[in-house]
Structure 1
Amino acid sequence: MQSNKQRKRWVIGIDGGGTKTRAAIADTRGQVAAIMTGDASNPLSRPWTDVEQTLRELIEALLRSVEAGSEDVAALYLGLAGADRALVANQIASAFGQEWQGRLFVDNDATAALYAGTWGEPGIVLIAGTGSIAYAIDRHEQRHRAGGWGYLLGDEGSGFDLGKQAVVAVLRAFDGRGEATSLTEALLAHFAIRSPVDAIALIYGSPNPRKELADCSRLVEQAAQEGDAVAKRIIQHAAASLVELVLACQRQLDEPLPVVLAGGLLSADTSLKRELEKKASFELCPPVVTPVVGALVAGMRKIGLLPDGEVIEQLRKTQAVQEGSDVDE
C-alpha cells in the first residue's frame, strides 16, 4: 500500500452490459491507470450473485493494480443496465452501500455511453449492443428514454434482436415457411451442428441464451456483406427500429440534441451503422472515448470534478493504457 504522504485519490468507473463488463481506475487528474474486463453484469439477465461476484472481482483487481485500498477511492461509479430500476438499485445498495457509503454512485449504463461522446454535456445516446435503448439527459439534468425494456419485451435493433431474427429465419427456411438463406450454413458452422433443429437445445439450454443469440448477430453482418437478401432485410428492419427509438426520445425533449452512437453494433463500421446513417434525420455524434471512460467522467461529476481541458486530455489517452487480463471466472 502507498504511504499516507504518497496516496492518491482514485475514481473507479464500471460499464456493465449483457455481454461483458469493463472497469477502469483513474486519479482525479484524469490519468487512467488500469482497465479490466470481466463477465456480463446485467442484473436483468444474470443472477444477482453472479453479477455481484463479477463486480467485486473487477474492483479488487483495479485496486491491486494501483496498490491502493478502498479507502483511497473517492467515487465508485457503477453504470449497469437496468440500474435505474428500483429492484436493481436496491440489490446494488444492499451489496455495496454499507462498505462504500457516500462514495457509491449507481446509474444506467446508458449515461456512461452518453458521456463518452459529450464529456458530461446534454445529449442522446443510442445504444445497440446486446440490448438497445435511446437515452437522453437534457440541460435540466432530466432523463428521458425510449426502449431498453430487455430482451423479452424490447431490445429492438440490438445484437440479441439480430441474432434472434437470424435463427428465426433459418428455422423458417428449414420448415418451408421462409426463403433459403446463407444464414443456415453460417448457423450450422457457428454452433458446430448438423441441423438447425440442433440449435434449439443449445440455445434454450444455455445459461445465458440472450448472449447466445446476441453472438449470432455476427452471422447476420457477414451474410449481409456477402449479399444475402434475408440478412439485408434483417439489418434494414433493425436500423428502422433504432431510428424509431431516437425519434421517440427526441419527442420528449424541448431542444434538439446530438445523438451519440454506442454499443458494439454501432462502434465499428458495420452494415447496421451504415444503414442507420442512411435513415437518420438527426445529428450523429461519434463517441470520443469508450463508455468505460464515460463512466469515469460520470464518477468525477458526482463528486464535483467537472472535467476541464487538462483532465479531458488525460482521459483521451486511454488507448495508451495496457488493458489488464480478463477477470471472467
Structure 2
Amino acid sequence: MSSRTAAVVAIDAGQTGMKVRVRTDQSVGEALLPGVRTDQPVLPQISVAARQIADEFELDIRHLAAGISGLTDGETTPDALAALARSAGAAHAVIAHDATTSYLGARGIAHGAVVAAGTGVVTLGVGPSGATRVDGWGYLMGDAGSGFWLGREALVAAMRDHDGRGAATALTGVVRDRWPDLEQAYIELQADPARVSVVASFAAEVARAGAVGDAVALDILRRAGDLLAESALTALRRVEAEPAVCAIGGVFRSEALRDEFTRALVAERPDARVVEPAGIGIDGVEALIDLPAQHPLAALTWSARA
C-alpha cells in the first residue's frame, strides 16, 4: 500500500464555494468545492471536504485550517474541534470565522481595519486594545452598505419613482426588466426563496447606473460609502488601531462608492489611509496555523488535536 503524503490543508469555506489549498513539501495545489450550507452544522461539512481531498490525493493531514462562514459558538468547543480533527483524519485542526481569515489575508498580523463587503458586510479592527467586530449582523439587522443594502435601496428608489414620490431613475427600468408588472414585484420577491441574493444582485445595477451619472444611483452609492466608512472608523476607535484600512469585496468595485468611502474616512481621520490587501482569504486561512498566541486575533480562533 502506498504511503500518504504529509500535507497542510486550508479551506476558505464561504456560502458560494469552498476554496481548498493543499500544501506539501513538494507542491501547492488548489481546488474549489460547493459552498457550506449555513442552515446546517458547518463543521461536518468541513470534515467531509477535508476527507474527500485527503482520500483523493492520498494525504496525511498534519494541519487542517478553516475560515468558515456561519460558524456558531456551539461548534467552537474543544470537543467539537477534536471531533472535527478525528473525522477529517487530521492531527491538528484550527478554525475561525471567515471575517478573521479575511483580515489575516488582507492585513496579515498588522494592525488596522478590514471592511469585507459583498452580499453582506463585516468589519474587523485589530489594535493595541484587542480585536473587535463591527456589523456583520445580517440583512435583517445590519449589513449597512452591503450588496444587499445597495440592492434594497435600488428597489425602494424604483418604487418611489413608480409612485411619483421620488426622483426619476434608470433603476426603475432595470427593476421592470426583472418584474414587468412593478406592482406585483413585491409579491414575487417575498415568495422567492433566493430573495436575499436576488436583492443583492441589483447592487451591480446601482454601480452601473452611477457610473453613467444617474443621480439616484450616485446618492445610493455615496450613502453606502459613508456607512462603510462609519464601520471602519468605529473599529479603529474601539481598538485604538493604526488608521490603515483595507476595503475588500465586490461592493468596492464601484468607483463612486470607493471614492466616497475614502473621502469619509479622511474627513473624520485625516491620518487614515486605504491600503491594498496583502493577499486573499485562503492566505489568511493558512496564516491561522502559525498565528502568534499573543496576537489579538488569537482570541478569535479555536484549535484542537485529534
Q: Into which bin does the TM-score normalised by the smaller protein fall? A: 0.7 to 0.9
1:117 corresponds, among 103, 106, 109, to 106
2:281 corresponds to: 291
- 8 Å CA contact 1:80–1:108 kept in 2: the answer is yes
| 2:189 matches 1:203 | yes
Give the Å deviation of 1:34: 1.0
- Which of 32, 36, 61 is residue 36 of structure 1 equivalent to? 32
Note the C-alpha offset of 1:57: 6.2
Structure 1 segment 141-180 matched on structure 2, within 5 A: 142-180=130-168
Specify every segment of 5 or more residues in structure 1 that has no aligned partner in the other structure, as ranges.
305-329
Give secondary structure in 1 for the equivalent of 2:141: coil
1:124 and 1:257 in contact (8 A); partners too: yes
Partner SS for 1:14: strand
Q: Which amino acid aligns with 2:17?
A: T
Cα distance change, pair 156–255 in 1 and its aligned pair in 2 (3 A): closer
Q: Give aligned-pair identity as a percent.
A: 25
Q: How many residues align?
A: 286
SS in 1 for 2:278: coil
CA apart distance, 1:208: 3.1
> Partners in 1 of 2:159 and 2:224 — Cα distance?
19
Cα distance, 1:115 vs structure 2: 1.5
After TM superposition, the structure 1 = structure 2 runs for residues 207-218 of structure 1, keeping only pairs within 5 Å, are 207-218=193-204
- 1:42 CA drift (Å): 6.6
The two structures have a TM-score, normalised by structure 2, of 0.80
Q: Does 1:11 align with 2:20?
A: no
- Post-superposition offset of 1:218: 0.7
Equivalent-residue separation in structure 1 for 2:119 and 2:3 (angstroms): 43
Cα separation, 1, equivalents of 2:163 and 2:26: 56
The answer on whether the counterparts of 2:64 and 2:85 sit within 8 Å (CA) in structure 1 is no
Partner amino acid for 1:3? S
Equivalent in the alignment of 1:322: none
Amino acid at match of 2:80: A
Picking from 260, 277, 297, the partner of 2:262 is 277
How far apart are the structure 1 equivalents of 2:194 and 2:141?
17
Residue in structure 1 matched with residue 302 of structure 2 by the alignment: none
- Calculate the TM-score normalised by the size of structure 1: 0.75
Comparing 149-158 with 251-260, greater Cα deviation is found at 251-260
Query: Separation in 2 of the partners of 1:234 and 1:29?
Result: 49
